[in-house]
Every structure is written in structure tokens, then in C-alpha cells.
């Protein structure tokens, strides 16, 4: 009887001491992915400032929309100023990264529009001249 009891106690200890295997998957937000389909490349812009979306929705309207060429030319100026401020260390509290923007790559009007409006947001909120 003692042998059977000892066997069950050892079995219970063995089972209870095993590590639990719990796997968790971290979902990746769709806005951080760049999807490649067939031979086309889809670009997206991710803006981490939580106040920007509300500001953007209150300022943008289809009547205020411009052509893609307008956004391209303004973004070239904005990118140039942004990267200059980053390289010289000005406005470090706001400008903390380099933007690798290729001017001859077709990012699409949605990306160009949002980037332009983000530069406008930075100008208005922090008084940093990017598009001037």
C-alpha cells in the first residue's frame, strides 16, 4: 500500500513540476506592414504621434486636396529641411530620426498627401519651419 501511495505522490510531483508551455503570438498592426504583391510595391506611412490623426481629420477636406506633383515638390522641401535639422541636431525633441525618402520613387498620392500634412502639423504645433 505504501508503495502505491509513494508511486502516486512521485507521479503527482513529476506532473506538477513540469513547466507550462504557453505560446503567445504578438499581433502585428496592419499599418506597420509593407505588403508586396506580384510585381508592385505598396507603400504606407506610419505616424506615431497620437494627436496627428485628430488634427488631420479636422484640417483636411477634399476641397483642400492638391495634385500629387504639388505634394511631391513640397515633400522634397520638407524632407530636405527635416533631414538638415536632424543632421545638425536642431529641434532634437521633435526631430529624432532621419527620413529616407527617394524623390523619384512613386509612393502614391496617399503617402505623399499624409507626409505633407504631417509636415504642416509639425509646423503648426511646434513652429518648426519645414515647408517654407
Amino acid 30: pLDDT: 36
- Return phi, psi of residue 41, to 5°: -115, 125
Residue with the bigger pLDDT between 36 and 118: it is 118
Q: What is the pTM of this model?
A: 0.67
Q: Are 115 and 45 in contact (CB under 8 A)?
A: yes
The closest of 44, 61, 30, 48 to 122, measured between CA atoms, is 48
Kindly state the average pLDDT of the residues 67-75: 95
Amino acid 10: pLDDT: 52
31-60, pLDDT tens digit by residue? Answer: 333 332 333 578 888 898 899 999 999 999
3-state helix, strand, coil in the chain (%, to 5): 50, 5, 45
Kindly state the average pLDDT of the residues 17-32: 42
Amino acid at each position: 500500500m505504501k508503495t502505491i501511495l509513494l508511486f502516486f505522490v512521485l507521479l503527482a510531483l513529476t506532473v506538477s513540476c513540469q513547466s507550462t508551455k504557453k505560446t503567445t503570438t504578438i499581433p502585428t498592426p496592419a499599418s506597420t506592414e509593407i505588403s508586396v504583391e506580384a510585381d508592385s510595391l505598396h507603400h504606407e506611412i506610419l505616424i506615431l504621434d497620437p494627436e496627428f490623426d485628430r488634427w488631420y481629420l479636422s484640417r483636411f477636406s477634399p476641397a483642400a486636396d492638391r495634385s500629387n506633383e504639388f505634394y511631391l515638390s513640397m515633400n522634397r522641401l520638407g524632407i530636405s529641411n527635416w533631414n538638415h535639422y536632424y543632421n545638425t541636431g536642431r529641434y532634437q525633441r521633435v526631430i529624432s530620426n532621419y527620413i529616407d525618402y527617394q524623390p523619384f520613387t512613386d509612393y502614391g498620392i496617399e503617402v505623399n498627401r499624409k507626409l505633407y500634412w504631417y509636415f504642416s502639423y509639425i509646423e503648426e504645433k511646434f513652429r518648426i519651419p519645414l515647408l517654407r
